[in-house]
Chains A and B, each alone.
Chain A
Amino acid sequence: GAVVSQHPSRVICKSGTSVKIECRSLDFQATTMFWYRQFPKKSLMLMATSNEGSKATYEQGVEKDKFLINHASLTLSTLTVTSAHPEDSSFYICSARALELYEQYFGPGTRLTVT
């Protein structure tokens, strides 16, 4: 199957700083990328959907100024958590889909801890 990578896999940052997470599709062109967050023992919650070259569409309740998403190329999307707070600590997962594929392929996730 198609491969999606995320970097970093783990990050610890201080409260008030910003953190950038990268999501790359390694062997296909991702026309659509999705960002999710997952709290312990909970299901995945979609944060936003982005199509290459256009602005992301955020889900209700997700602050677009806090979670900045850039999808500038067909193989790279970034999520920046700005002015992170401890309640932003979570598991962030991206997924990618190409036009010709029915399924989404997921990255391995990034564990963010804000101290």
Chain B
Amino acid sequence: DAKTTQPPSMDCAEGRAANLPCNHSTISGNEYVYWYRQIHSQGPQYIIHGLKNNETNEMASLIITEDRKSSTLILPHATLRDTAVYYCIVRAAGNNRKLIWGLGTSLAVNP
């Protein structure tokens, strides 16, 4: 599975959009981009995933570049409860394919 690169930390003001980048330049054609987050001392929470097209759900939007070498997770109106570590993971389809976790981006939403 392809590796990902994320900035170690970011800050965002409450109410503003948080844009979290992820580079995955070695992604293969059958690999999806997944985003999870982990609030301190809790299990990870699924946010969103995509293959080629941009995706949006009630939590966030995922923008994937046309060459698929990078993506951005957008939290449109960040709240204090969005403070967490955000993980970008690429993974091929298939039931037993593992999620390989990096160190993610520690997002601090400030009042």
Contact yes or no, B46 A108, CB < 8 A? no
B residues in contact with A44, CB < 8 Å: 44, 101
Contact yes or no, A93 B101, CB < 8 A? no
> In the complex, what residue of chain B is closest to A104 when comparing beta carbons?
B99
Distance in angstroms between the alpha carbons of A44 and B32 in the assembled complex: 19
Distance in angstroms between the alpha carbons of A99 and B95 in the assembled complex: 7
A residues in contact with B45, CB < 8 Å: 106
A residues in contact with B32, CB < 8 Å: 102
Nearest chain A CB to B56's CB is how many angstroms away? 16
Contact yes or no, B43 A109, CB < 8 A? yes
- Taking CB atoms and an 8 Å cut-off, the chain A residues in 69-106 that contact chain B are 91, 93, 95, 97, 99, 102-106
Q: How large is the interface on B (under 10, 10 to 19, 20 to 34, 35 or more residues)?
A: 20 to 34
Looking at chain A's contact residues, the main secondary structure is strand
On A, residues with C-beta under 8 Å from B are 1, 4, 6, 31-32, 34, 42-46, 49, 51, 57, 91, 93, 95, 97, 99, 102-109, 111
On B, residues with C-beta under 8 Å from A are 32, 34, 36, 41-46, 49, 87, 93, 95-96, 98-104
29 CB-based A-B contacts, threshold 8 Å: A1-B46, A4-B43, A31-B95, A32-B95, A34-B98, A42-B103, A43-B87, A43-B101, A43-B102, A43-B103, A44-B44, A46-B100, A93-B43, A95-B43, A97-B95, A99-B95, A102-B49, A102-B93, A103-B46, A104-B46, A104-B99, A106-B36, A106-B45, A106-B46, A107-B43, A108-B42, A108-B43, A109-B43, A111-B41
Given contacts A57-B96, A102-B49, A107-B43, 8 further A-B contacts (CB under 8 A): A4-B43, A46-B98, A91-B41, A95-B43, A95-B44, A97-B95, A102-B93, A106-B36
